[in-house]
Amino acid sequence: GKKPKDVEISIPIVYGNIAFWLGKKASEYHSHKWTVYVRGSTNEDLGPFIKRAVFQLHSSFNNPTRVVDSPPFELSESGWGEFEIAITLHFHSEVCDKPLNLYHHLKLYPEDENSSMSTKKPVVVEFYDEIVFPDPSEAFLARAQGH
- Chain residues binding ligand SLL by CB under 6 A are 29, 58, 60-61, 79-83
For ligand SLL, the closer of residues 16 and 136 by Cβ is 16
CB-CB contact of 126 with 104 (8 Å): no
Write down the least CB distance from residue 137 to ligand SLL, Å: 41
CB-facing half-sphere around the CA of 5: CA atoms within 13 A: 3
> Could you tell me which residues come within 8 angstroms of residue 146 by beta carbon, excluding any fewer than 6 positions away?
48
For 19, phi and psi rounded to 5 degrees?
-140, 135
What is the CB neighbour count within 10 angstroms for residue 116? Answer: 9
Write down the least CB distance from residue 8 to ligand SLL, Å: 38
Give Dmax (Cα) for the chain. Answer: 62
Write down the least CB distance from residue 42 to ligand SLL, Å: 31
For ligand SLL, the closer of residues 23 and 81 by Cβ is 81
For ligand SLL, the closer of residues 27 and 42 by Cβ is 27
CB-CB contact of 20 with 35 (8 Å): no
For ligand SLL, the closer of residues 51 and 58 by Cβ is 58
Write down the least CB distance from residue 72 to ligand SLL, Å: 22
